Structure 1
Amino acid sequence: MTARMNIHEKGQNALKAMYGLGGYLAKSTVEQSLLHLLYFRVSQINGCAFCLDMHAKDLRAAGETEQRLYLLNAWREAPFYSARERAALEWAEAVTKIPNGQVPDEVYATASAQFTEQELIDLTIAVITINSYNRINIAFGVVAGSYEAKAK
C-alpha cells in the first residue's frame, strides 16, 4: 500500500490535539518504558506497521532487549515480563479489544492491584492514544521504515 497523503504534514491542526495527549503521558508516573511497550503491543494487535517500526526503534534505543520484543506477542507464555508489565499488557489488550462489550472484572482487579487509580487512568489514555494513531496511520497508508529513533 502506498501513502494516500502525508497526514503528518497535512493534518497538523487535527493532530495537535493528540500531541497534547503525548505531552500529558510524558508526565505520567507510569514508566515511559512500560508505555512504549504498551504502544508496541497495541500496534501488534492493530497491525500498524508504521507504529511497530517506530516503537521497536524507540524501545531498542531505550535499551529494551530483542528477546522481549520478539516474544511480546506471546507475553503470557514468556517469563520475561514483570507482574506490573503483565497487568498493563492485559489491560491494554482488553481496552483495545473490548471483549464482550466491557473490560472483564478480573482484568480490572489485576490492573488495580499493580497500578494506582491515576496510573490506571493514564494507562487507559495511553491505550486510547495509540489505538487512535494506529487507525490514522492505517487509514492513510502511512509507510513504515522512515522513522528514526531519537538519541537517548
Structure 2
Amino acid sequence: MSTRIKISNANSESYKAMMNLEMTLQTTLLTNIQKELIKIRASQINQCAFCLDMHTKDALKYGETPQRIFLLNAWRETSLFTEEEKVMLAMTEEITLISRKGLTDETYEKATQLFDEEQIKSIIMAVVTINMWNRIAVSTHLEVPEH
C-alpha cells in the first residue's frame, strides 16, 4: 500500500475538533466495554484494520473477553451478548450501513425501551464518530503498527 497524507498533520483545527469529539464521548454514560463493542463492530463492517487492531486491544484492556470479540461479527447467533448490547449493536450496524435503511423504527423503539434519551444520543454519537475515524484510516491507508 502506498503512503498517503497524515490527516493529523493536514489541517490541525479539523483534527483538533475530531479529537475534542472523541474526548467528549469519554464522558458519556456508556461503559468502556459498550463503547469498544460499538467501535469494533463498525470497524468490522468498514474493514478498518487500524481501528480493529486498536479497539480490540482496548476492549481486552477493559476486561472484554476474547470469545465475545471473536463472535462479535455473529452477535445475533449467540447468547453471549445482553439484550442491551444486541440493540446497541443493531443500532451500530444500521447507522454504519445508513444507505440500506438507516436506523429503523423497530430498532429505535427497542432502544427507547432499554436506554434513556442521553444513552441513545451517546450511542448514536459513538457510532458516528467511529465511522468518521474508519473513513479517515481506510482512505489514508493508516497502517496497523507492528508489535
Bin the TM-score by the shorter chain. Answer: over 0.9
Conserved 8 A contact 2:32-2:62: no
- Deviation string for 1:65-89 (max 9, x for gaps)? 1100000000000111011111100
Structure 1 residue matching 2:4: 3-state secondary structure: coil
Residue number in structure 2 paired with 1:141: 141
Q: Give yes or no for contact 1:2–1:143 (8 Å, CA) kept in 2.
A: no
2:117 matches 1:117 = yes
Aligned to 1:132: 132
Separation of aligned partners in 2, 1:97 and 1:124 = 13
What residue ranges of structure 1 are gaps of 5+ in the alignment?
Answer: none
Q: In 1, Cα distance between the equivalents of 2:52 and 2:16?
A: 21
1:53 maps onto 2:32 in alignment: no
**TM-score normalized by structure 1?**
0.90
Report the TM-score when normalising by structure 2.
Answer: 0.92
Structure 1 partner of 2:93: 93
Q: 1:11 Cα shift?
A: 4.2
**C-alpha deviation, 1:99, in angstroms:** 5.3
Query: Amino acid of the residue matched to residue 134 of structure 1?
Result: N
2:19 alignment counterpart: 19
Structure 1 stretch displaced more, 60-69 or 2-11: 2-11
Paired residues in the alignment total 147
Structure 1 vs Structure 2 CA RMSD: 1.6
- RCO (CA 8 Å, sep 6+): is it higher in 1 or 2? 1
Structure 2 gap ranges (5+): none
1:22 offset after TM fit, Å?
A: 1.4
| Structure 1: distance between partners of 2:47 and 2:101 | 21
Rounded to whole Å, the distance in 2 between the matches of 1:101 and 1:61 is: 34
Query: Structure 1 stretches (4+) deviating beyond 6 angstroms?
Result: none
Contact 1:2/1:142 (<8 A) preserved? no
Shift of 1:35: 0.8
Q: Which stretch has the larger CA shift, 128-137 or 29-38?
A: 29-38
Q: CA shift at 1:112, angstroms?
A: 1.2
